[in-house]
Structure 1
Amino acid sequence: MKKMPVLFLGHGSPMNIVLENAFTNSLVKLGKTLPLPKAILVVSAHWQTKGTYITTGRVPEIIYDFYGFPQELYDVTYPCPGVLDQIEKYSDVFKNAAIEYDDQRGIDHAGWAVLKHMYPNGDIPVMELSLDYKKTPQEHYELGRKLAPLREQGVLIIGSGNIVHNLRMVDWNLDAKPYEWAVKFDDIVKKYIIEQNHEKLIAYKNLGQDGVLSIPTNEHYLPMLYSLGLQEENEKIIFSYEGFQNASISMRGFLISE
């Protein structure tokens, strides 16, 4: 079997769940053009833990981890199956990476909000990976590398976060003009992604004041390091979407493939 591609997706505002726009259309396109996965693993910006966990429930609960949005968002469902029945296929990978199981935790909107557009039938098993808040960026990157065998087993790995994510400076107009610092930081990250200069991206704290403003907390940035950790030397990058929402959120996404 040809190994599955890897994605990083900016997920942005929960409003994208119910909107049709250039970003959500890019997700629909991905779902139609990617090889059909046997399972999906989402590295979530919205699940931080002590230690690293993977969801293993048979029917994971859908978590509405956002507040103050229109009722129509809470009426959306995504009844995807979990991976309990096939978890043994991946157990060696998870054991090698010191990943523990959580059969109670559901799938948050870092996962289902993008999958709703990509795979609207909700018929592909989904598991979600947490972020260990004690790990360094380098350790997160290295953990991503340990997930590589899953690609050979038909698992689509998706890092779901945002390269630029500053809610303290958000403009609630979805189409607001992005801040200059946000654009500059997104551009420098794009440059290093193209150059496959992962060291610079791991050491993001050295990227100046634009980086400080773009990453006030790193939980939305870290899923990208998992995706980059899975890139082989000969694999190419295709940007599946470029743009901003709410002035301070980069929606950049990319695809890694042979």
Structure 2
Amino acid sequence: MTTSTRSPRMPVLFVGHGSPMNVIDDNPYREAWVQVGQMFGTRWPKPTLILCISAHWLTQGWWLTGMDNPKTIHDFGGFPQALFEQQYPAPGAPAWVSQTARLLRQPHTGAPVGIDLREWGLDHGCWGVLKPMFPDADIPVVQLSMDYNRPPAEHFALGQQLKALREQGVLIVASGNTVHNLRTMNRSAPDDQAYEWAIQFDVWVAAQIRDGHLASLVNFQQEGEIAQMSHPSHDHFLPLLYAAGAADADEPVAFFNEGYQLASIAMRSVIWG
């Protein structure tokens, strides 16, 4: 999957992160993340900065992490101690955040994006996928929060603002899931099986992406029951809208990790560019 040419423009990633255990389990999902990380420096240049949009940082308004050394947040419970011992000491990028926050505009007010200096850090939706991809933790990482109270179209619109960052060596990594319903998990289900509604919605998402109908993802709730079942709350779908907004409808797109966990979590991941 490598080429001899190197484009200065970074790709855009949407990563289905699934269970926090994927960061330490030896499974195909984690292995795919490792392989994607190895493409940087071969197929693409190494990013100068990673901007991550995770399903797990929901705020009033939009915020960027602006600290020098963002902490590793273990925002989960009931998992083995080995998972809580994981650290991802990537540096922050305060100067870049100060400049970028003035350029990005909150869609509903036009105000600049806020800067968080103490509240957050890197949650498991972020470090859980970046640690396998970039284990040296030597690339600055900044998280962008999501205002869950705002309509999907505004999340897509802010994603469109991020597109220009790709020309600056910034890798945009959106982390969520195309299907995410923890209420209906089946712990005995193998990774190649899922509920019919989960498969149908995941296939619908894939078709919009494959056909370049990226703006139509904003209307995902119009898919009715399969959308409602796939996202009782849509925090894990919203990151996809940022990635889709930052992508071009006509640029090459590829899927990986096209499987399911626990019958109701789709691990589908996407690379644009």
Q: TM tier, shorter chain? A: over 0.9
TM-score using structure 1 length = 0.95
SS class of match (1:132) = coil
| Whole-angstrom distance in 2 between the partners of 1:54 and 1:251 | 26
The sequence identity of aligned pairs, in percent, is: 42
C-alpha spacing 1:234/1:200, structure 2 compared with 1 (3 Å): closer
| Whole-angstrom distance in 2 between the partners of 1:39 and 1:173 | 39
1:117 is aligned to: 132
Residue 68 (1) aligns with residue 68 (2)? no
Larger fraction in strand: 1
Amino acid paired to 1:141: F
TM-superposed CA distance for 1:232, in Å, is: 1.6
Give the conservation status (yes or no) of the 8 Å contact 2:105–2:158.
Answer: no
| Whole-angstrom distance in 2 between the partners of 1:5 and 1:174 | 33
TM-superposed CA distance for 1:150, in Å, is: 1.1
TM-superposed CA distance for 1:196, in Å, is: 1.4
Alpha-carbon displacement from aligned partner over 1:113-152 (angstroms, at most 9, x marks no partner): 0001000111110011111122110010001001112111
Residue 99 (1) aligns with residue 113 (2)? yes
SS class of match (1:48) = coil
Q: 2:23 aligns with which of 17, 33, 42?
A: 17
C-alpha spacing 1:16/1:57, structure 2 compared with 1 (3 Å): same
Amino acid paired to 1:44: S
Unpaired runs of 5+ in structure 2?
Answer: 1-6
Give the conservation status (yes or no) of the 8 Å contact 1:93–1:150.
Answer: no
Alpha-carbon displacement from aligned partner over 1:140-167 (angstroms, at most 9, x marks no partner): 0001001112111111001100010000
SS class of match (1:66) = coil
1:133 is aligned to: 148
Within a 5 Å distance, the mapping from 1:117-196 to structure 2 comes to 117-173=132-188, 175=190, 177-196=193-212
SS class of match (2:272) = strand
Residue 39 (1) aligns with residue 78 (2)? no
Give the conservation status (yes or no) of the 8 Å contact 1:96–1:146.
Answer: no
Q: 2:237 aligns with which of 221, 225, 229?
A: 221
TM-superposed CA distance for 1:201, in Å, is: 1.5
| Whole-angstrom distance in 1 between the partners of 2:229 and 2:161 | 31
SS class of match (1:80) = coil
Q: 1:239 aligns with which of 251, 255, 264?
A: 255
C-alpha spacing 1:222/1:192, structure 2 compared with 1 (3 Å): same
| Whole-angstrom distance in 1 between the partners of 2:249 and 2:259 | 27
| Whole-angstrom distance in 1 between the partners of 2:165 and 2:215 | 24
Range with bigger deviation, 246-255 or 180-189: 180-189
Give the conservation status (yes or no) of the 8 Å contact 1:62–1:78.
Answer: yes
TM-score using structure 2 length = 0.90
C-alpha spacing 1:96/1:167, structure 2 compared with 1 (3 Å): closer
| Whole-angstrom distance in 2 between the partners of 1:173 and 1:46 | 26
Residue 52 (1) aligns with residue 62 (2)? yes
C-alpha spacing 1:247/1:150, structure 2 compared with 1 (3 Å): same
Range with bigger deviation, 191-200 or 109-118: 191-200
| Whole-angstrom distance in 1 between the partners of 2:34 and 2:188 | 23
TM-superposed CA distance for 1:192, in Å, is: 1.1
Residue 251 (1) aligns with residue 257 (2)? no
| Whole-angstrom distance in 1 between the partners of 2:97 and 2:233 | 32
Amino acid paired to 2:25: L
C-alpha spacing 1:233/1:163, structure 2 compared with 1 (3 Å): closer
| Whole-angstrom distance in 1 between the partners of 2:222 and 2:154 | 17
Give the conservation status (yes or no) of the 8 Å contact 1:9–1:159.
Answer: yes
TM-superposed CA distance for 1:188, in Å, is: 1.2
1:208 is aligned to: 224
Amino acid paired to 2:100: Y
| Whole-angstrom distance in 2 between the partners of 1:126 and 1:251 | 23
State the aligned residue count: 257
Root mean square deviation, CA, Å: 1.6
